[in-house]
Amino acid sequence: KRKLDPEDEAPRKIHEIGHGQAVAAHYNELQEVGLEKRSQSRIFYLRNFNNWTKSVLIGEFIDRVRRKKSDITVLDLGCGKGGDLLKWKKGRIKKLVCTDIADISVQQCKQRYEDMKARCRYNEHIFDAEFIQADSTKDLLSSKYNVPHMCFDICSCQFVYHYSFETYEQADMMLKNACGNLSPGGYFIGTTPNSFELVKRLEASETNSFGNDVYSVKFEKKGEYPLFGCKYDFHLEEVVDVPEFLVYFPLLEQMAKKHGMKLVYKMTFREFYEEKIKNEEHKMLLRRMQALEPYSTFGDSKLVSDKPDDYEHAKEF
């Protein structure tokens, strides 16, 4: 038996284990950045805009559930370091289960929750929380982690679902985890890149990639877009440098039907912004979250960045 050179072995390993471990390793390594440094970032407004979008979306679906019941339970699928914890606190939910493939992120998310809890004033409400490290494209959360009591009103999957479209089995398992434990009338909400926009830009480019000095997207080739495993490398300054997969939304919609789901709505970020900004509260939140360039107004189109391309890379849900 020939001792394999690690270089030889690498491609086989990726094939065997999929890209999940690479994704987990990447997110585990991301450093948490303080507020001051974050405000100097070139993607400060983009990041804030994404956060505003998630806040409005999450708030809207909490309100929808609250019309029917008061004790709301939520699954945050791909919770990362807990970027949405405050949104759940503001929504006064009862219980949150956070899960992510990256173990260090899950630990940081838990720590963030503990800190939040410790800062709570007397009588201030905070939800109960549980934290689970799992690959939601491969592990069935309810059985592997022995949490049969799991029953959610909302599953929130923010900027995560595209990692599952490596194979049909993975995409279906993530859907099962997202929708399989929803109570009747529950919601699966999320944000994911807009594949139509990605392919349009790729086709318009002379090479296999496109982007600007803040982000880049690189495909292996043009012209062939398989339904699963259509990988591209996404780089965004300070945040992501990992393989992602195109999600063909009509297929996702069909697959979700199998799990008893019905589409409520799907919008691009721009459409969502244009609709939600009509509401005064959302408009004020946008200002408070500094999701607009300081010199821009609501009337013009400078939403996130002075580089229209950054905004155009907006993700779709």
Contact region with ligand SAM (CB under 6 A), list: 21-29, 197-205, 229-237, 290-298: 21-29
d(CA 291, CA 24) in angstroms, rounded, equals: 28
User: Smallest distance from the beta carbon of 37 to ligand SAM, in angstroms?
Assistant: 17
The yes or no reply on residue 228 touching ligand SAM (CB under 6 A) is no
Q: Return the DSSP state at 164.
A: G
In terms of CB distance, is 17 or 120 closer to ligand SAM? 17
Q: Give the nearer residue to ligand SAM in terms of CB position, either 20 or 186.
A: 20
Q: What is the dihedral of CA 280, 192, 241, 27, to 10 degrees?
A: 80
Residue 23 near ligand SAM by CB under 6 A: yes
Which residues, 6+ apart, have CB-to-CB distance to 43 below 8 Å? 214, 236, 237, 238, 239, 305, 310
Please, what is the minimum distance in Å from the beta carbon of residue 68 to ligand SAM? 25
Judged by beta carbon, residue 4 or residue 25, the one nearer ligand SAM is 25
* Cβ 103 to ligand SAM shortest distance, Å: 9
C-alpha dihedral, 91 to 41 to 106 to 235, nearest 10°: 120
Q: Which is nearer to ligand SAM, 222 or 266 (CB)?
A: 266
Q: Is 20 in the site for ligand SAM (CB under 6 A)?
A: yes
Q: Does 135 participate in binding ligand SAM (rule CB under 6 A)?
A: yes
80, 91, 186, 243: which one contacts ligand SAM (CB under 6 A)? 80
Nearer to ligand SAM, 267 or 296 (CB): 267
> Least distance to ligand SAM from the beta carbon of 168, Å?
15
- Does residue 55 bind ligand SAM (CB under 6 A)? no
Report residue 243 CA to chain centroid gap: 14
Please identify, among the stretches 8-16, 18-26, 115-123, 293-301, the one whose residues bind ligand SAM according to the rule CB under 6 A: 18-26
Taking the complex as a whole, how short is the minimal distance between the CB of residue 22 and ligand SAM, in angstroms? 10
Q: What contacts 24+ positions apart, CB below 8 Å, involve 144-150?
A: 147/97, 150/75, 150/97, 150/181
139-178 residues in contact with ligand SAM (CB under 6 A) are 158-160, 163
Residue 73 per-residue DSSP state:
E
Residues 184, 262: Cα–Cα separation, whole Å: 12
Strand order in the sheet with 215-219: 209-211, 215-219, 231-236, 240-245
For ligand SAM, the binding residue among 48, 53, 108, 136 (CB under 6 A) is: 136
The verdict on 105 binding ligand SAM (CB under 6 A) reads yes
Q: How far apart are CB 165 and ligand SAM at their closest, in Å?
A: 11
d(CA 166, CA 231): 8
CA distances from 32 to 87, 101, 114, 163, 238 (A): 18, 17, 16, 22, 11
Question: Could you tell me the smallest distance in angstroms from the CB atom of residue 121 to ligand SAM?
Answer: 26
Is 248 a binding residue for ligand SAM by CB under 6 A? The answer is no
Q: At what angle do helices 249-258 and 168-179 cross, to 10 degrees?
A: 60
Instruction: Tell whether residue 101 is a contact of ligand SAM (CB under 6 A).
Output: yes
Query: Which residues on neighbouring strands pair with residue 95, listed in sequence order?
Result: 73, 128
Kindly tell me which of 73 and 170 has the beta carbon lying closer to ligand SAM. 170
How far is residue 289's CA from residue 51's CA, in Å, rounded to a whole number?
8
Q: Enumerate binding residues for ligand SAM (CB under 6 A).
A: 20, 23-24, 27, 78-80, 83-84, 100-102, 105, 135-137, 158-160, 163
